[in-house]
Structure 1
Amino acid sequence: MDQHGERKQRKRLATTSRWIIAGLAGSAAALVALHAGRLIAAAPVVFPPPARPMGSLKTVPVPGPTEQELAVFVRDRKAAIQLGKALFWDMRVGSDNLTACASCHFQAGADNRITNQINPGLLAGDNQFNTGSAKQVGPNYKLRAADFPLVRHGDVDDAGTIIADNNDVVGSQGVFAATYDDIKPNGRKDDCTNISDSLMHGGTGFDVNGVNVRRVTGRNAPSVINAVFNFRNFWDGRANNVFNGGDPFGMRNPQPLVWKLEGSVLRNVPVRLSSSSLASQASGPPMSNVEMSCAGRAFIDLGKRLLDETILRAQTISPKDSVLGGFAANAPTYSQLVRKAFQPAFWEYAGQLTLPGAQPLNFRNMDLPRMRRDDERARDKLPKPGKLVTTQMEANFALFFGIAVQLYESTLVSDDTPFDRYADGDRTALTAQQLRGMKIFQEQGKCLGCHSGQEFTNASYANVQSQRVERMTMGDGGVGVYDSGFYNIGVRPTSEDMGLGGTDPFGNPLSETRMVMQGKTALLGNNFGSGVAQSWPAGARDIADGAFKAPALRNVEFTGPYFHNGGAATLMQVVDFYNRGGDYAYANRKDLDFNISPIGLSQAEKEDLVAFLLSLSDERVRLRRAPFDHPSLCVPDGALGGTKSIAQHGRSGHGVDDMVCLDEVGANGTKRGLKTFLELSPFAR
């Protein structure tokens, strides 16, 4: 179909959608309710529940396990938060001693690096980097404003006028390709064997003329600030709401992953810590072969290397750090903090623990299949030679890591924005333009369809816990059942990245809707479907393919690039996308969210909407004041050189990192505020 024909069909589809709304709005028979886990059948045309009203985030309790549930594991919450912050910012968590969790989450909880941040589209099966504005896009390319948006239009308000289509993804650089062997004799670094990334998967690899650069993730890094309010985490919801003590997959992993001392007997026990998606999320990247780890490393190996080390040994802590300031001059070891923070039953066993060599492989790698090399997958399947001798504390390091990081990230709540002050009663907090933009956000813009409530996301704990699955009429007129807070909005063709439509390492669908359809509600946790049969409407279909978690919008000023593929550089480009009704709405019509259709905003109205989004910025985030202060951190921003040649680190086969270092910041913050991505104006196109 030519562009003109597709544009006409898209307009007919949008007109039909508006006719359905106009003809049936207000019809009680068209609504569907979810009570005690049971879907009640209704009329064939249905709508999602009314959007939750916006409001101050100060009014929302911070989600998490109950004090009683947490007390099973944690005996000193303050010490656990200290441990979590240290682990989150420590560059030694990475196999290379240069990669921290914070390496991808240092800019308002997200990542704004610009060199070597492109993935060629491996999740779509594409190995070739696309040609961009500079005609040199590839490994170690330096992004610039002219590269965005990745999908370009002759008319920004007409989705049928695509003039440039780039399926590359702006992600985050992680580690060099390597396999894990052991810990180096000095005990302070992983001993890994480098792998050539040249011709990876039969196409262009993450290398420049045979010299490796760091591998890049297949999706953009979302912010960890306010992530505690998400019911599930990661773009595709892999980080389960129940933490199993070892990996992101909750009760989907049937193996007990934790060792507990009961009386005088050490037992391998299951863990089911509810409302703990952040702990599930935290347990994933440290063992990712793309993000932080040499392939084949286990959490036990990381525990062996770190536990006797001083926290943040190679980094600087400000004496005024809001959490770690007391350790600036005399820092404890990680094992000392574990003993203080966690119940003795999980670490005090004095003897050694002998495990079969394959035991660490009960923990499952979070990497998506197409992001893992064939030789890495084969390496992961091999059992460890002989037997593994370890300690209880080492064996439970994933448990300590996940819970501690969750408790630290639970403090990263930004609830003091101009909008929050307005919602709390200060009618001078928003400008006249922002007030106009807020009205558009609530009404014509249809933004509340995915970004409702105080958290500005339907993927929030408050929304999802009350209704895990929803029904509504889809763009093609069919009735769909889908996971609350996850939507296909037509950023890219569905087939390129299935998102929520993918599967976990155990063959289960990531989608809770599909889990219910398969009768697996017992694996979903948080009392979902407890003994209650699910009743599905006749003819309804599950909607998961190409769906992604609706991100929260607070501090969005600083968290570009935007969308799961990093395809937009500015907020105006994002508004343009929604105003034209997405880029691939017609192609994705089978799975498309009902709200995606042309909006018809004028340029002035678009500017009003962007202005309102800027009212969601918290000055404490901008200036890195507590709780957003941090230790010093150095991050790699590509390799020294360009896209034609790079400096090689000795004979290692990998490039020399171009490091960018951030000074430590105390509770009072800094005078230099955060910049936008590429330092572009949010209003720029």
Structure 2
Amino acid sequence: MVCVDWISEGADTQHRKRQVRKSLAFFGTRLTAWTVAVAIASAGLPVYESSAQVVDPVADIPSLVGVKPILPDVSAYIRDPIAAQQLGKALFWDTQVGSDGQACATCHFHAGADIRTKNQTDPSVRNTVVALQNIFDARDNNAGIAGPNKQFAALDFPFHKLADINNRESSVIFDTNDVFSSQGTYAGDFVSGGRSLRQDLLTAFLLKRNVFRGRSRSSEKCNLTYSPFNPNTNPSGNPFHANGLIYRKVEPRQTPTTINAVFNFRQFWDGRANSQFNGVDPFGPRTFTPLDPVTSAGNPNAAGAGILVPSGKALVITKPLIDNASLASQAVGPPLSDFEMSCAGKTFADLGAKLLPMRPLSTQVVHPQDSLFSKTPALIPSSSQTGLKTTYKALVEKAFFPKYWSSPGWFNVDPATGAITLDFVKGHTQEEQNFSLFWGLAIQAYEQLLISDDSPFDHGPAAMNPQAVAGLAIFEGKGKCVACHNGPLLSGATVTSLSTESPKAIEGMLMGDGRPGIYDTGFYNIGVRPTSDDIGVGALDPYGFDLSFTRQFKWRLLNQKNKSVDRFDSRPCEFATPIFTPCDNLPSLTDPASAPRDSVDGSFKVPILRNVGLNPPYFHNGGQATLKDVVRFYNRGGDRRGPLDSDTTGLATPTPFGVVNHTNLDPDIGDASATSTNNALGLTDEEEDDLVQFLLSLTDNRVACHSGVFDHPSLPIANGELDVAKAKTQQAKDIVVTLPAVGQQGLKVCFPNSGDLFGTLNTTDTRRLQDVFNQVIK
């Protein structure tokens, strides 16, 4: 049972401040279903306060050594776990998989993230103010001008500059709503390579003779039309088209690391990658929920969504939901995104048709001592060759049970009705149709290996320098960092084998303005940017459902359960009695405005802090280039503007419940009890430096050195473009750099654990990324 403890508006402030983060949920089940019991403070409902004694739940941050993630049960799908891991690693690093040479690793090549500095700007396409979505701001350095494909310099950071770095209300001397992220594809519209009817008929004949299954559609084309954005003459244009050239698009949020991501309960900054993998896309049970004509929420193509499996002599659609598989949910998002890895209109069946006959990593070097591929020596070619000595088809069929790929024929699935028909011309094989399942589970199997548990911090104070030890005390005390960055991963959004209870779906506390609110566990608004720039977990998914568990819970209170599709059950709890006493039925509300206040707009998932010294820049907008600037941000109480009861963490637009939240501020940002509007932590410069040293002690040297499970094939990467076109196109020509292949012994020179985007190996803006790579080749 889950109970959400509700704190009344009149609760003692010190009572609230003594809590590291008051646990508002108690679970008796393990990770498969949740029961949420909420005592609500709102019109017509009582205010409940816990009669239990409040105790500080975090005495120490534990080591990660020996701590295991909660893994999904995939035994019904995967028959050879090693083959699945090898398939996942190949798919992750292979530049053949995406359009325009994009691999998953293109944006996650270093410490699970990205340290490129050219063409890494998004103009704020997630801004709630439409007029601001496609407008690039000028950089702050002297050479900075507006537009795509610009080179960042250290002087461009932070993105919000103040006359007094310790006073959030001091004069603003520079501000931009642009986002630092990762460049992706040129986009365009997908055109299948296809095959001639003659080839199809020949393949059909051979198939009946049991010679082989499948066919090759290894080519693809993306049709591109130059259409630059202009707010007056072409408001639907593309902001990455400029000066007669088409540049690679840049994603709208900073790239999070894949390392240790297996511990996240939900993935992505906004949590949209569901903990239940549906085999199709990131959205779990939402994808299988039919469109409701009353609420306009739901998937109009729910009937055709799912996985094809044999039933007798026919294929039928099944709708799996694999628990604790958010990594797989995340993995199936980027391959079809026209920001990240694809041109628009491609399907996973198209991707499968392209890849299955291909040799994995065929243009990339694989190190003979690769930690994963070397487990099967026959996979690795001689030193003079590239790629693996197999095909993706062979790897899929080795890793997965035949029921998911062995049915003969080509099929078309009607997305609206789910009808399955034979189609020898435009259809896809079962193996191609199910490629999203193979992709998600294989990449998940690989990423589950990427656990970094060998940092100085993990070996105790004796392995840390004195500054880091002092910084730990500040982290757990005066800095209040541990309120959100707790547990062995230093993130409240994670779940580990240390958890004796199921994950918390919803919590409640007094917010920054001293009034109660409920919110998604592990998601907070800390005032990085005005909430209007990006509403985070307060947004809707593509099917019209709230990403936020909190808002789904409120729809249940209003008897609109068709708007709440994620898997958790709700029961109210009376905290005047012992907390595990059975609860009464859920109260029923009729007025949306009477539902409890939610604080979810502008909230983002608490990132894992391990290896944070290797992962600049910081925050969801990438707006801080150094850990020192991050600490200064917290010391001044964030970058929000305005008084506590009405600041830029609020949103002028009403919530779906018709209420305007003037603030959504996490109360642990600054000192909410201070009389000054500054609400600073009051850290000295020395304390700030100590805190930075502690954060640097969280780095596992294997990650910095790309050794052990963190090794990889070579990887060509676009590091921005030249302002000239490729031959016979309007695409800007890539500046290509190559990350060398490395085996489990790692690099000769490791990447710096500096906590600075422009530190050490990347000290000057003119130095090419290839020069950095050349220094670390073994």
TM over 0.5: yes
Q: How far apart, CA to CA, are the structure 1 residues paired with 2:531 and 2:16?
A: 29
CA, structure 1 residues 231+653, in 2 after alignment: closer, same or farther (shift >3 Å)? same
Q: When you count helix as a share of all residues, which structure comes out higher? A: 1
Bigger shift: residues 158-167 or 405-414:
158-167
Q: What is the Cα deviation at residue 515 of structure 1?
A: 1.2
Find the counterpart in structure 2 of residue 655 from structure 1.
Answer: 732
CA, structure 1 residues 350+650, in 2 after alignment: closer, same or farther (shift >3 Å)? same
CA contact (8 A) 2:452 2:700 kept: yes
CA contact (8 A) 1:39 1:535 kept: no
Find the counterpart in structure 1 of residue 427 from structure 2.
Answer: 389
CA contact (8 A) 1:246 1:258 kept: yes
Q: What is the Cα deviation at residue 257 of structure 1?
A: 1.4
Q: How far apart, CA to CA, are the structure 1 residues paired with 2:546 and 2:399?
A: 35
CA contact (8 A) 2:192 2:217 kept: no
Q: What is the Cα deviation at residue 49 of structure 1?
A: 8.1
Q: Summarize the alignment of residues 412-491 of structure 1 with structure 2, pairs less than 5 Å apart.
A: 412-422=450-460, 427-462=461-496, 465-491=502-528
Q: What is the Cα deviation at residue 27 of structure 1?
A: 9.9
SS of 1:71's partner is coil
Bigger shift: residues 539-548 or 177-186:
177-186
Find the counterpart in structure 2 of residue 523 from structure 1.
Answer: 565
* CA deviations over 1:268-296 (Å, ceiling 9, x no partner): 10010010000000000000011111100
The reply to whether residue 188 of structure 1 matches residue 218 of structure 2 is yes
SS of 1:317's partner is coil
Bigger shift: residues 212-221 or 117-126:
117-126
SS of 2:351's partner is helix
Determine what percentage of the aligned residue pairs are the same residue.
40
For residue 216 of structure 1, the aligned residue among 239, 242, 250 is 250
The reply to whether residue 271 of structure 1 matches residue 320 of structure 2 is yes
CA contact (8 A) 2:545 2:564 kept: no
Q: How far apart, CA to CA, are the structure 2 residues paired with 1:434 and 1:361?
A: 61
CA contact (8 A) 1:500 1:545 kept: yes
Find the counterpart in structure 2 of residue 553 from structure 1.
Answer: 609
For residue 620 of structure 1, the aligned residue among 694, 702, 705 is 702
The reply to whether residue 409 of structure 1 matches residue 447 of structure 2 is yes
Amino acid of the structure 2 residue aligned with 1:62: P
SS of 2:315's partner is strand
Q: How far apart, CA to CA, are the structure 2 residues paired with 1:48 and 1:241?
A: 30
Amino acid of the structure 1 residue aligned with 2:161: R
Unmatched 5+ stretches in structure 1: 1-16, 363-384, 641-645
Find the counterpart in structure 2 of residue 606 from structure 1.
Answer: 688
Bigger shift: residues 186-195 or 169-178:
186-195
CA contact (8 A) 1:246 1:398 kept: yes
Q: How far apart, CA to CA, are the structure 1 residues paired with 2:353 and 2:58?
A: 49
SS of 1:471's partner is strand
The reply to whether residue 72 of structure 1 matches residue 82 of structure 2 is no
Q: What is the Cα deviation at residue 508 of structure 1?
A: 0.4
Aligned length: 630
CA, structure 1 residues 24+410, in 2 after alignment: closer, same or farther (shift >3 Å)? closer
CA contact (8 A) 1:48 1:470 kept: no
Q: What is the Cα deviation at residue 260 of structure 1?
A: 1.0
Find the counterpart in structure 2 of residue 199 from structure 1.
Answer: 229
The reply to whether residue 120 of structure 1 matches residue 123 of structure 2 is yes
Find the counterpart in structure 2 of residue 150 from structure 1.
Answer: 159
Q: What is the Cα deviation at residue 351 of structure 1?
A: 2.5
Bigger shift: residues 577-586 or 255-264:
255-264
Find the counterpart in structure 1 of residue 4 from structure 2.
Answer: none
For residue 369 of structure 2, the aligned residue among 320, 337, 344 is 320
For residue 90 of structure 2, the aligned residue among 86, 90, 113 is 86
CA, structure 1 residues 638+571, in 2 after alignment: closer, same or farther (shift >3 Å)? same
CA, structure 1 residues 360+163, in 2 after alignment: closer, same or farther (shift >3 Å)? farther
CA RMSD in angstroms comes to 2.9
Find the counterpart in structure 1 of residue 212 from structure 2.
Answer: none
The reply to whether residue 21 of structure 1 matches residue 5 of structure 2 is no
SS of 1:354's partner is strand
Find the counterpart in structure 2 of residue 353 from structure 1.
Answer: 411
The reply to whether residue 178 of structure 1 matches residue 230 of structure 2 is no
CA contact (8 A) 2:162 2:168 kept: yes
CA, structure 1 residues 492+337, in 2 after alignment: closer, same or farther (shift >3 Å)? same
SS of 1:518's partner is helix
Larger Rg: 2
Q: How far apart, CA to CA, are the structure 2 residues paired with 1:149 and 1:516?
A: 37
Bigger shift: residues 547-556 or 126-135:
126-135
Find the counterpart in structure 1 of residue 664 from structure 2.
Answer: 591
Q: How far apart, CA to CA, are the structure 2 residues paired with 1:196 and 1:386?
A: 35
Amino acid of the structure 2 residue aligned with 1:665: V
CA contact (8 A) 2:168 2:638 kept: yes
Q: What is the Cα deviation at residue 518 of structure 1?
A: 1.6
Amino acid of the structure 1 residue aligned with 2:746: G
Find the counterpart in structure 1 of residue 179 from structure 2.
Answer: 169
CA, structure 1 residues 232+503, in 2 after alignment: closer, same or farther (shift >3 Å)? same
Q: What is the Cα deviation at residue 511 of structure 1?
A: 0.3
Q: What is the Cα deviation at residue 208 of structure 1?
A: 3.3
SS of 1:267's partner is strand
Q: How far apart, CA to CA, are the structure 1 residues paired with 2:624 and 2:310?
A: 51
Unmatched 5+ stretches in structure 2: 1-8, 28-34, 41-45, 196-215, 289-301, 382-387, 573-582, 642-646, 651-662, 671-679, 764-778
Amino acid of the structure 1 residue aligned with 2:258: V
Q: How far apart, CA to CA, are the structure 2 residues paired with 1:536 and 1:544?
A: 22
Q: Summarize the alignment of residues 508-547 of structure 1 with structure 2, pairs less than 5 Å apart.
A: 508-519=545-556, 520=561, 523-525=565-567, 528-529=569-570, 534=586, 540-547=596-603
Bigger shift: residues 439-448 or 119-128:
119-128
CA, structure 1 residues 534+232, in 2 after alignment: closer, same or farther (shift >3 Å)? farther
CA contact (8 A) 1:299 1:360 kept: no
